Structure 1
Amino acid sequence: MPSTGMISSPGSIAGLPKFLSLIAHDWLRRSFYVFAKLGVADLFDGAKPHTVSELIANNTDQTINFHGERLQRILFHVEQGGLVHSDSKKSTEPIFTLTEDGQLMRATHPLKMQGIVLWDLGSVQWDLGGVSSGIESHLAAMVAQQGPYANDQTATPVSLKLKSDNWFEAFASRPELKQTSDLFNVAMSAYSNIEWQAIRSSNDIQKRISKYSVLCDIGGSLATFSVNCLHLHPQLHAVSFDLPEVSRQARVEQKDLPENILCRLRIIGGGFFDLDSLKQISPNALLESINSPTKSVVYHMKNILHDWSDEKTLEILYNLKTTFLGDSLPDQQITLLLTENHILPSDHPAAEQFNWINRGLDIHMLLMTGGKQRTVVQWQHLLEQTGWEYQQIVTTESPISVVIAKLVKP
């Protein structure tokens, strides 16, 4: 092993950042492994810039059938670790160049770093003993379109295990997965509390929320975000909307809230793929149940749409539009806040600080649910197709940012 002077200890980082850093570095480890496993460095012709299409054309391994979009996401992620450099301004397709560090990953490099990465960052040494089949191997197979991923571009390791393309419903409906489902919801609630610190500190976001009488958090899990908003905004009523099984857990979780908070909180069970279910949270349905001088609703989704492919995200956004248009006042503006780890433009002041985390989460979502983290341009495209109008993105002092959209009324 190299001397300790070459490696930074987690002990040099204090508090919450220590743990979040370990998670983000683990995400990067997976993409480094895939970069090595699929010989991506050897697809580059020296230091020449290449598009993804050109890199795929350079592939001579007949066992690998690269999935272009997934390979591009891997390249964007390992860029955060310094293996490649991208330039999206000179072409409609991003151009990537192998860096000096990336050159170390060539199979012919004398340092043999590719071998070290494959051995120590992958699962091969554990697979020898039949201990596990590492998630890194699945990620490589997804990018190379091999094995179970050869003919099914929607498959993920989790969907294959559960035999379901909607693991949230599988978690919530199968008794044998209840413990896993409960743990997932608790973990998401913990993340929500962490992210709330940045959202609370954003004057822009809080001023917007303060203008509304009802906030509806779609995919609200254990109602953590709703409760935090209620504590900060005494005029606000909040609705947390999630699958029925999750909502039951949320009611148990929040049953001991102070009365002045509990009386302004509603927890509703349902799903956003079911139009009848969504009618429970239409603007008029929400406003009928409260006494407020202002009659306005803001909808919020935090780390929800990143769980889904573009096709499913379009379906969700369209379902929301259809429901809200069908049951709202003609002059009523409907706002949607999308809080996620949005990928920031490369020239954004916070891009270097946060995109290495957001790109890592992007690969994590690909593995877990087949979802993705999106850029502003990608959001504009999805919103425009489903009757929503992109307004702006509000960044925070953390990787979390908020895309603001308004429903376009005929």
Structure 2
Amino acid sequence: MESSSIHIRETNADTESVMRLVEISAGYWLPRALHVVADLGVAEALDEEPRSAVYLAKEVGADADALDRVLRLLASHGVFHRRGGKYVHNALSRALRSDHPHSMRAYVRLVGLPVFWRSWGALEQVVRNGKPAVSDIFAYFKEHPQETEIFDAGMKSKAQSAISPVIAAYDFSAFGTIGDIGGGLGHLLKAILKSSPKSRGVLFDQPHVVERVEADEAIGNRLTSQGGDFFRGPLPRCDAYIVMEVLHDWTDGQSQQILQQIRNAAPDAARLLVVETVLPDESAWAAGKGEHFGNHLDINMLVLTGGRERTSDEFASLFADSGWRLSRVIPTPSPYSIVEAVAA
């Protein structure tokens, strides 16, 4: 009797392991369904009334049966509710609307762009040769303006999820001038300046990027933009430098060039604040705490840019080779941390 119970437990464990592998191997089915629904604008077509797939398909120009099956899959994972064969909004599906205050529609569309799917489809080649699937993803977006619009909007929506936690975790009011290096359209820097009304900011990015930065009346002339190349400089002289999700786009050697250019411009008392995910170190893995969003993002960087996410020790090494010294790692209520450094 006892041996029979043991055999049943072992069989159940084997079945669970097999099904877990099945779920992982087919894991891309669910996000692809999400991408399609975001592209079609289904959440926009769904108002506060329960709607059938027939109604929604007519609104977005899709096949009713196919759309119903895709929405059923998403509803089974908590995106939309399915009631009586119709669909209604919930918290996740509302965030797929463009008019939602924390809309993630643009980011979902960005991750579903064909260039992303082609690149991830080449993962085996990337793993074999260690080179990204795209020769220059930034040049690609520069040459594809329609996709650039999705990229800009997607980065904005993703940044919004990290901005509030960053501002809540760090006091920026002590700095007279804050430089945002590779800051894109300035979403983070604008939020920092609004939270620190006595500070001024300098947004530094490529000329074709900063020329698209929109003025903000709440900040006025406290924000200026400077176009340039952060590999070559010169960079602005500031009391603090914030670098959010920039270094992970680049190899260690390229990241050291960026950090060295910042150090060349920085006063000795300046602070460097790198906002990125910090990967679990070996002690975290030994404690069973290796799961982190940064592990996923790291492979995205491998595929698209050749860059990487890093552990705190790897950040310390980067800093030491470029004139900086790791001061502390400040966690935030998000997957992102603030990695603070001072002049070495």
- The normalised TM-score by structure 1 is 0.54
Distance 1:390 1:359 in 2: 22
Give the one of 280, 302, 306 matched to 1:370. Answer: 306
Q: 1:299 aligns with which of 233, 237, 241?
A: 241
Q: Given the alignment of the two structures, is residue 244 of structure 1 paired with residue 220 of structure 2, yes or no?
A: no
1:218 to 174, 178, 181: 181
What residue number does 1:320 align with?
262
Which residue matches 2:190? 227
**Retained in 2: the 8 A contact 1:223–1:267?**
no
* Deviation at residue 347 of structure 1 after TM alignment: 4.6
Rounded to whole Å, the distance in 1 between the matches of 2:336 and 2:151 is: 20
Q: How big is the shift at 1:193?
A: 1.3
Amino acid at match of 1:388: W
Q: Which amino acid aligns with 2:242?
A: H
Q: SS of 1:11's equivalent?
A: coil
Task: For 2:127 and 2:301, locate their aligned partners in 1 and report how far apart those are by CA, in whole Å.
Answer: 14
Question: What is aligned with 2:91?
Answer: 15
Q: What is aligned with 2:166?
A: 199
Aligned to 1:76: none
Contact 2:280 / 2:289 at 8 angstroms: preserved in 1? no
The one-letter amino acid of 1:383's match is: F
TM-score by structure 2 length? Answer: 0.64
- 3-state SS of the aligned residue for 2:253? helix
- Does residue 139 of structure 1 match 2:215? no
| Letter matched to residue 282 of structure 1 | R
Query: Which residue of the partner structure matches residue 327 of structure 2?
Result: 391
Query: Aligned to 1:393, what secondary structure does the other structure show?
Result: strand
Distance of 2:289 and 2:262 partners within structure 1: 33
Give 1:358 shift: 0.8
| Aligned match of 1:167 | 137
Gaps of at least 5 residues in structure 1 are: 28-131, 146-152, 160-165, 284-296
Determine the C-alpha separation between the residues in 2 that align with 1:243 and 1:201. 29
Q: Deviations over 1:303-344 (max 9, x none)?
A: 0000001121122112222333xxx4xxx4011000001113
Q: % of aligned pairs identical?
A: 26
1:229 is aligned with what amino acid?
I
| Aligned-pair CA distance for 1:398 | 1.0
1:272 counterpart = 2:339:
no
The Cα of 1:353 is off from its aligned counterpart by 7.4
Task: Kindly state the Cα deviation for residue 360 of structure 1 after the two structures are TM-superposed.
Answer: 0.3
Q: Contact (CA 8 Å) 1:321, 1:387: kept in 2 or not?
A: yes
RMSD: 3.3
Secondary structure (helix, strand or coil) at the match of 1:212 reads coil
> Helix, strand or coil for the counterpart of 2:212?
helix
Q: Indicate which of 283, 303, 316 corresponds to 1:380.
A: 316
Query: Displacement of 1:354 after TM fit?
Result: 8.2
1:300 Cα deviation from its structure 2 partner: 0.4
Q: How many residues align?
A: 248
C-alpha change, 1:272 and 1:170, in structure 2 (3 Å) is: farther
> Secondary structure of 2:197's match?
coil
Query: How far off is 1:138 after superposition?
Result: 1.0
Which one-letter code corresponds to 2:243 in the other structure?
Answer: M
| Residue 352 to residue 180, structure 1, CA distance change in 2 (3 Å) | farther
Q: Is the 8 A contact 1:298 1:337 kept in 2?
A: yes
User: Which one-letter code corresponds to 2:134 in the other structure?
Assistant: V
The change in CA–CA distance for 1:184 and 1:347 in structure 2 (over 3 A counts) is: same
1:1-400 to 2 correspondences below 5 Å: 9-11=76-78, 15=91, 134-145=118-129, 153=130, 155-159=131-135, 166-169=136-139, 171-172=141-142, 174=143, 177-202=144-169, 205=170, 207=171, 209-250=172-213, 254-255=214-215, 257-258=216-217, 260-275=218-233, 278-279=234-235, 281-283=236-238, 297-324=239-266, 328=267, 332-345=268-281, 347=283, 355-400=291-336
CA distance in 1, matches of 2:118, 2:137: 20
Superimposed CA distance per residue, residues 78-120 of structure 1 (whole angstroms, 9 cap, x where no aligned partner)? xxxxxxxxxxxxxxxxxxxxxxxxxxxxxxxxxxxxxxxxxxx
Shift of 1:143: 1.2
Displacement of 1:15: 3.3
User: 2 CA distance for matches of 1:347 and 1:235?
Assistant: 41
Paired amino acid for 2:151:
F
Tell me the alpha carbon deviations over residues 263-296 of structure 1, each in whole angstroms, 9 at most, x when there is no partner. Answer: 2111211110123xx24x124xxxxxxxxxxxxx
CA distance in 1, matches of 2:288, 2:192: 30
Give the AA of the match of 2:132.
T
Query: Which structure 2 segments of 5+ residues have no match?
Result: 1-14, 24-74, 81-89, 97-103
Would the aligned equivalents of 2:276 and 2:337 in 1 still touch at CA under 8 Å?
yes
Q: What is the match of residue 288 of structure 1?
A: none
- Residues 1:140 and 1:273: Cα distance change in structure 2 (over 3 Å): same
Deviations 1:192-234 (A, max 9, x none): 11111211332xx1x2x11111111101111111110111111
SS of the aligned residue for 2:262 comes to helix
Q: State whether residues 119 and 134 of structure 2, in contact with CA within 8 Å, keep that contact through their aligned partners in structure 1.
A: no
Give the conservation status (yes or no) of the 8 Å contact 2:119–2:304: no
Q: Quick check: 1:242–1:269 contact (8 Å CA) kept in 2?
A: yes
Counterpart-to-counterpart distance in 2, 1:354 and 1:261: 41
Given that residues 226 and 238 in structure 1 are in contact (C-alpha distance below 8 angstroms), is that contact kept between their aligned partners in structure 2? Answer: yes
Question: Given residue 303 of structure 2, which amino acid in structure 1 is its aligned partner?
Answer: L
Taking the aligned partners of 1:232 and 1:321, their CA distance within structure 2 comes to 26
Task: Tell me by how many angstroms 1:179 deviates.
Answer: 2.5
